[in-house]
């Protein structure tokens, strides 16, 4: 029982499967024997069964009582009827129990051990290729129970656990599972309050996992401390292609750490750092990292605080980067001067297809400068410019007409044209 208690308290995946073979449970049910509770185990023992037909029950009971007294003395009064052999870790199981590709049996026993109600939805869809269990209120214990069968499940390829308030303990259990599962390629852990402890566990998983392609960690209250864990993991992992870390609390230090990591990462194709607080030196370092990256195709930096300094760094990054295709820097407090400096990078960039500068105070001058840079770049690949909520003037529209002649497929959105009496020069 000591071993069972210890495993139940571990933050990682608990050991929940008994040493009996797969048919033991059905035999107990046929004999009408109720399952032993944790209290009953200390009294009756796992080997107690219905009365035998040879009339030796009384003698056997006395003999077993003497054996139990001896074991109690050896263990100092602890419940001792379950030895080390009665429970094994999930990865050490052999025989019939080890062959459970769906994990249904393991899940039921894990739920019983952790005292959580089994999710009927999981049991119904355990053999599907996609498991969607968002908004189920699993909590930490429910996540731990779910992690047990997923270790050996061979059907599920996409796992959605969004909004289940798993916290750090639940996140650690899922992370431990992903170290062993070699089938799951997409995981959504957004809005689970994982915190920095959960980030530490996820980072450890990313250093070992070689199958995960898409990971959503949005809305998990990550701070700069989380970036300290995840940064090195992104340097090591070259398999992950899509990462979402939006809606967290990443600040200046996180921008520096992630910038260094992205400069060395060779696997990511897209990353979202939207709705954080990356600004100042962090914004500059992050932009520098993007300049040296050789794999990213899409980057979302919206709703941060890049400002003028960050925009200048992004302009330099666009001069150096030759793979980036989509960049979103909307809502970043970029002034007209910053937009003009960013536009300098567009004069030489040959890969950018989509640029979102909407809801920045760049005014008509910033929009005009960016569009003029596209016009002057004969190798420009630009297909979409977003200046939503920004008012432009007649000069901008005249320039737009010239650009359309050269790039007829280019689409431009803006906040409308000011009236004749309010025309402002670029």
Residue 85 domain-assigned (yes or no): no
pLDDT at 98: 52
Please check whether residues 67 and 112 belong to one and the same domain.
no
Q: CA 151, CA 55: separation in Å to the nearest integer?
A: 46
Count structural domains, the chain: 2
Distance CA 206, CA 199 (A): 10
**Any domain includes 87:** no
Instruction: Looking at the structure, tell me whether residues 189 and 69 fall in a common domain.
Output: no
Identify whether 86 is part of a domain.
no
CA–CA distance, 211 with 27 (Å, rounded to integer): 40
Predicted pLDDT of residue 76: 43
**DSSP bridge pairs for 216:** 188, 244
* CA 190 to chain CA centroid, nearest Å: 6
pLDDT at residue number 99: 66
User: Is residue 92 assigned to a domain?
Assistant: no
* 31, burial (CB in 10 Å: exposed 0-12, middle 13-18, buried 19+): exposed
Closest CA to 104 of 128, 134, 87: 128
Q: What are phi and psi of 309, to 5 degrees?
A: -60, -45
217: nearest Cα among 197, 254, 191: 191
Phi, psi of 314 (to 5 degrees): -65, -35
406 and 302, same structural domain? yes
- Which strands make up the sheet holding 270-272, listed edge to edge? 130-132, 158-160, 186-188, 214-216, 242-244, 270-272, 298-300, 326-328, 354-356, 384-387, 411-414
57 belongs to a structural domain: yes
pLDDT score for 101: 78
Looking at the DSSP bridge assignments, the partners of residue 1 are none
Specify whether 247 is located in the same domain as 322.
yes
Judge whether 398 lies within some domain: yes
Q: What is the pLDDT of residue 115?
A: 96
28 and 111 share a domain?
A: no
pLDDT given for residue 353 in this prediction: 98
Tokens standing for residue 161: 């656990």
H or E segment and range at residue 384: strand 384-387
Sign of CA dihedral 214, 245, 127, 142: positive
User: Do 380 and 346 contact (CB within 8 A), yes or no?
Assistant: yes
Do the domain assignments include residue 360?
Answer: yes
Distance of alpha carbon 228 from alpha carbon 169, whole angstroms = 19
Q: How many residues does the chain have?
A: 426
Give 136's DSSP letter: S
**Residue ranges making up the domain that contains 343:** 102-422
DSSP letter string over 235-265? HH--S--EEE--SS---HHHHHHHHHHHHH-
CATH number, domain containing residue 368: 3.80.10.10
Per-residue pLDDT of the chain (426 residues; tens, 9 = 90+): 444 434 344 434 443 333 334 343 333 333 333 333 333 323 333 334 443 334 444 444 444 444 444 444 444 443 333 333 333 334 333 334 456 778 899 999 999 999 999 999 999 999 999 999 999 999 999 999 999 999 999 999 999 999 999 999 999 999 999 999 999 999 999 999 999 999 999 999 999 999 999 999 999 999 999 999 999 999 999 999 999 999 999 999 999 999 999 999 999 999 999 999 999 999 999 999 999 999 999 999 999 999 999 999 999 999 999 999 999 999 999 999 999 999 999 999 999 999 999 999 999 999 999 999 999 999 999 999 999 999 999 999 999 999 999 999 999 999 998 764 444 443
**Residue keyed to tokens 């590709």:** 101
Q: Where among 74, 90, 124 does a domain terminate?
A: 74
Q: Are 51 and 111 contained in the same domain?
A: no
* Tally of CB atoms within 10 A around 76: 7
Shared-domain flag, residues 63 and 207: no
Regarding whether 63 and 145 lie in a shared domain, the answer is no
| DSSP string covering 70-100 | HHHHHTTTS--SS-TTSB--GGG--HHHH--
Question: DSSP readout, 33-51?
Answer: PPPPPHHHHHHH-TT--SP
Q: Report residue 173 as tokens.
A: 């259990």
* Residues in CB range of 99: below 8 A, 6 or more apart: none
Query: Do both 336 and 380 map to the same domain?
Result: yes
Distances, alpha carbon 257 to alpha carbons 154, 206, 209, 226, in Å: 36, 17, 22, 10
In this predicted structure, what is the pLDDT of residue 106? 93
- 249 Cα distance to chain centroid: 15
pLDDT attached to residue 341: 97
Q: What angle do CA 7, 13, 17 make, to 5 degrees?
A: 65
Same domain, 372 and 307: yes
Q: Say if 248 falls within a structural domain.
A: yes
One domain for residues 11 and 117: no
Domain stops at, among 59, 74, 89: 74
User: Do 384 and 241 lie in a common domain?
Assistant: yes
């Amino acid at each position: 029982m000591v071993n069972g208690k210890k495993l139940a308290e571990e933050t990682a995946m608990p050991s929940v499967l008994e040493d009996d073979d797969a048919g033991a449970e059905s035999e107990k049910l046929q004999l009408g024997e109720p399952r032993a509770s944790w209290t009953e185990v200390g009294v009756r023992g796992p080997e107690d069964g219905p009365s035998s037909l040879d009339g030796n029950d009384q003698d056997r009971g006395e003999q077993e009582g003497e054996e139990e007294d001896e074991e109690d003395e050896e263990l100092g009064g602890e419940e001792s009827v379950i030895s080390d052999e009665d429970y094994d870790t999930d990865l050490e199981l052999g025989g019939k129990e080890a062959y459970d590709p769906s994990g249904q049996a393991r899940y039921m026993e894990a739920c019983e051990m952790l005292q959580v109600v089994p999710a009927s939805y999981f049991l119904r869809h355990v053999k599907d290729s996609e498991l969607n269990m968002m908004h189920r209120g699993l909590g930490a214990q429910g996540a731990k129970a779910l992690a047990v069968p997923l270790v050996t499940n061979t059907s599920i390829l996409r796992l959605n656990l969004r909004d289940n308030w798993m916290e750090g303990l639940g996140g650690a259990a899922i992370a431990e599972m992903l170290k062993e599962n070699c089938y799951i390629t997409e995981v959504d852990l957004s809005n689970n309050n994982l915190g920095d402890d959960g980030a530490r566990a996820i980072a450890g998983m990313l250093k070992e996992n070689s199958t995960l392609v898409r990971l959503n960690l949005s809305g998990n209250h990550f701070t700069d401390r989380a970036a300290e864990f995840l940064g090195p993991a992104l340097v090591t992992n070259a398999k992950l292609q899509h990462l979402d870390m939006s809606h967290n609390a990443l600040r200046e230090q996180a921008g520096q750490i992630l910038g260094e990591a992205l400069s060395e990462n060779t696997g990511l194709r897209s990353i979202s750092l939207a709705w954080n607080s990356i600004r100042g030196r962090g914004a500059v370092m992050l932009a520098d990292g993007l300049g040296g990256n050789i794999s990213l195709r899409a980057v979302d930096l919206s709703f941060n605080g890049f400002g003028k300094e960050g925009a200048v760094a992004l302009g330099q990054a666009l001069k150096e980067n030759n793979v980036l295709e989509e960049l979103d820097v909307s809502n970043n407090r970029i002034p007209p001067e910053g937009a003009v400096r960013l536009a300098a990078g567009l004069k030489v960039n040959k890969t950018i297809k989509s640029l979102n500068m909407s809801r920045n105070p760049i005014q008509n001058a910033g929009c005009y400068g960016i569009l003029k840079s596209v016009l002057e770049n004969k190798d420009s690949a630009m297909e979409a410019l977003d200046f939503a909520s920004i008012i432009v003037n007649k000069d901008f529209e005249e320039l737009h007409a010239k650009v359309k002649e050269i790039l007829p497929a280019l689409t431009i959105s803006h906040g409308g044209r000011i009236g004749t009496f309010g025309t402002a020069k670029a």
